[in-house]
Chains A and B, each alone.
Chain A
Amino acid sequence: MTQAAFVRTEMVPEQAPPITSSGVIGWMRKNLFDGWMNSLLTVVSLVAVGALLYEILPWIFRSSWTAGSLNECREQIKEAYGPDASGACWAVIRERYAQLTFGFYPSELYWRPILAFILMLGAMAPVLFSNLPRKLLWFSGLYPFIAAWLLWGGSVWGPLSALAGFIIGFALLLAITPRFGAILGVIAAVLGPIIWWTLLSGTVIDVLDSIIPIALEPVKSRNFGGFMLSITIGVTGIVASLPIGIVLALGRQSDLLIVKSLCVGFIEFIRGVPLITLLFVASTLLNIFLPPGTDFDIIVRVMIMVTLFSAAYMAEVIRGGLAALPRGQYEAADALGLDYWKAQRLIIMPQALKISIPGIVGTFIGLFKDTTLVMIIGLMDPLGLSTAIRANQEWNGIVWELYGFIALVFWIFCFSMSRYSMYLERKLQTENH
């Protein structure tokens, strides 16, 4: 028996894939020129993008940064790039960036909002990234009081007594619950701080002020403006709406009739009303209800309205997450003998919130962008300031530069939020369903 001569005895060595299906060319063939239809679309898109850039880029870069007025800008650009050139007048941004950032905040006190912003990053870090030491969360908890003191100034005892109210509430909860039951504990924890804030804290602040006066120069809310205003309102809304939203979502699923109807009524009412209407209520209607001369801070009013508004949306997003959990998870929690709060804390909420992350972040981004609506009630957010800047004879007629700059800053904030949510989703992915 002879051996078949054409049977191979060894493997053919691996060869590199053909040049047409690897590397840059392969990637382009696969992704850009896969069939005549895709090739056509690619070419059309490239032409469109190219034409757009051809128009926009010269406008962006043939610009003036040093002029003192729009007409001066035009002259400088004509001088530099020929009589037909038209370019952006970024000089307005250079002159007004501080105003667009801080509004009418006194310039010698700019360090306070800047410090508050840096501390905010520090306070958010342990919340956002779980590999940081957990003790830092104490700072996150204290941050709202520090920020309020830095931004508004005044006596240090104001924020401290506000903080004391929360401590009193928590202490009452811990002291009363074991002896008299959960319901009385919660009632005491709510009533205690309210009594403290309304009746006692004013006197205590006065007394402490006279003994140890530590104070920053107070700054009126009216002087807040620009991105600082947007961030202040946005961050307060974001931070406060999540817990309120969770409570509302749980309340809506509750078996207790009154709790349930209150939550449903609140959510449906707020969601049924446009935010602008609520802002008008905050700015004008409340003024008429409250006695004349009442000085109820307009920005606090707006913050409350924005928070309530986004809390209602948040509640529905979280309810979606709760509804997506399999029934078995609730039953498993019951089978382990966990009580309601423990079940929520250890089993239900971690999963429901994880499912809701895209929706929650979507609501945050929407809320942050909605802060520009305060312009309608005369607050000087970046868009409101752009009107005010245009009202100067020097800058009247400038449109694209201001809106472009504001859009860019908003985009940076919203894009960061969006990227963080994707990071969080990847990190929490457990592949169990």
Chain B
Amino acid sequence: MKKTVFLGALAVTGLAAGAAAAGTLDDVKARGKLNCGVTTGLVGFAAPDANGVWEGFDVAVCRAVAAAIFGDPTAVEFIPTTGKTRFTALASGEVDMLARNTTWTFTRDVDLKFEFVGINYYDGQGFMVPKSLGVSSAKELDGATVCIQTGTTTELNLADFFRSNNMSYEPVPIETNAEAQQQFLAGACDVYTTDASGLAATRATFENPGDYVILPEIISKEPLGPLVRHGDNAWGDLVRWTLNALISAEELGITSANIDELRKGTNNPEINRILGTEGNLGEMLGLSADWAYNAIKAGGNYGELFEKNIGENTPIGLSRGLNAQWKDGGLIYSPPFR
């Protein structure tokens, strides 16, 4: 069996080379499943439950895209990727899209030849300290020992921040978030720094969360979003407008509860266009007319997904902040469906 798989793979290599020229959407449809790259586990964003079903805020984006294509939010193959393998997995075609809280940066977009289709979470790097340290601002951290994950943008941001404020610090390099939690709790470092969402999730697991505070300063911009390969703009459009549909749905008040009601027809032409009762937006994407209906129905609109996975009623307890709709003073904004 093992040998046949190997040799069989070599044999079909030639055929596959020809087939790969077709569009990503055709490949996905032929396969019957969307291959979506996620993290190997990040609280609130992607994690398998006891039955092996993936859940989380990033996972929900994958499910929405799958629902838009197939009408079935479970038609996804989740492929866990690490920080080291994620970009090759996407570039080589192992996954069709990445929804793996990846920061949109210039080099990733331009040099690595990826296309970020939007932003589903505005994050930023913050600091957490024990209350007993008596610090209320990151500017007072001169001389602190800082637990920092190696090989990430957070490491560089930290160096920039301390240098521009003429402060010194002593880094305690760590490899994973779990290690950081243990080191921080054991007092090996005064400060733990990572993305603010990660800090909130970490703090929620402490035995006495009240003994630790997250400082108000956010020292970097970390816009996280799904991304696809260069070279297939139609596919990029599909993922982009699926995300936009979730965002617009919240803005227009389409929820998973009232969507069936609204689908019967409304006075709002944009809602009608999104839900496919008016116009032919789905057809333009190469999908059925009810693509956005399925995507929103899969897990709810953007706001519902936020509340369910990382919102204030979850243990992570993130407030909307920058991730509120533009009308509520946030940055979440979708171009019009027209």
Residues from chain B with Cβ under 8 Å of A144 in the complex: 1-2
- Tell yes or no: A297 within 8 A of B by CB: yes
Residues from chain B with Cβ under 8 Å of A186 in the complex: none
- Tell yes or no: A290 within 8 A of B by CB: yes
Contacting residues of chain B (27-83) with chain A, CB-CB under 8 angstroms? 27, 39-52, 56, 77, 79-82
CB distance from B313 to the nearest CB of A (A): 11
Q: Which residue of B lies closest to A194 (CB)?
A: B7
Majority SS of interface residues in chain B? mixed
Q: Establish whether residues B17 and A291, one from each chain, have CB atoms under 8 Å apart when the complex forms.
A: yes
Residues from chain B with Cβ under 8 Å of A290 in the complex: 9, 13
CB distance from B91 to the nearest CB of A (A): 7
A287-B93, A393-B43, A397-B181 as given contacts; A197 in contact with B4, CB under 8 Å:
yes
Q: Establish whether residues A389 and B41, one from each chain, have CB atoms under 8 Å apart when the complex forms.
A: yes
Contacting residues of chain A (194-221) with chain B, CB-CB under 8 angstroms? 194, 197-199, 201-202, 220
A197-B4, A201-B4, A222-B79 as given contacts; A292 in contact with B205, CB under 8 Å:
no
Q: Establish whether residues A391 and B52, one from each chain, have CB atoms under 8 Å apart when the complex forms.
A: no
**A304 vs B4: C-alpha distance in the bound complex, in angstroms?**
13
Interface size on A, residues (CB 8 A): 63
**A392 vs B6: C-alpha distance in the bound complex, in angstroms?**
36
**A391 vs B205: C-alpha distance in the bound complex, in angstroms?**
11
**A159 vs B51: C-alpha distance in the bound complex, in angstroms?**
30
Q: Establish whether residues B93 and A390, one from each chain, have CB atoms under 8 Å apart when the complex forms.
A: no
Majority SS of interface residues in chain A? helix
A390-B178, A397-B206 as given contacts; A288 in contact with B13, CB under 8 Å:
no
From A74, A145, A378, name the one whose CB has the most chain B CB atoms within 10 angstroms.
Answer: A378
CB distance from B151 to the nearest CB of A (A): 13
Q: Establish whether residues B88 and A392, one from each chain, have CB atoms under 8 Å apart when the complex forms.
A: no
A198-B11, A293-B19, A392-B49 as given contacts; A387 in contact with B178, CB under 8 Å:
yes
- Tell yes or no: A121 within 8 A of B by CB: no
Q: Establish whether residues A292 and B314, one from each chain, have CB atoms under 8 Å apart when the complex forms.
A: no
**A74 vs B207: C-alpha distance in the bound complex, in angstroms?**
8
Q: Establish whether residues B10 and A198, one from each chain, have CB atoms under 8 Å apart when the complex forms.
A: yes
**A375 vs B20: C-alpha distance in the bound complex, in angstroms?**
29
Q: Establish whether residues B88 and A95, one from each chain, have CB atoms under 8 Å apart when the complex forms.
A: no
**A103 vs B315: C-alpha distance in the bound complex, in angstroms?**
26
Q: Which A residues form the contact surface with B (CB < 8 A)?
A: 70-71, 74, 95-96, 98-99, 103-104, 107, 144-145, 148-149, 152, 158-159, 161-162, 165, 194, 197-199, 201-202, 220, 222-223, 236, 280, 283-284, 287-288, 290-297, 300, 303-304, 375-380, 384, 387-393, 396-397, 399
Which A-B residue pairs are the 4 nearest by beta carbons?
A: A391-B41, A397-B205, A148-B1, A287-B92
Beyond the given A303-B2, A378-B80, could you list 5 further A-B residue pairs with CB under 8 A, ordered by the A residue number? A99-B48, A161-B4, A292-B92, A292-B93, A378-B79
Q: List 14 A-B contacts (CB under 8 A).
A: A148-B1, A162-B3, A194-B7, A284-B89, A287-B92, A287-B93, A291-B13, A293-B93, A294-B12, A296-B10, A376-B82, A378-B85, A384-B80, A388-B40
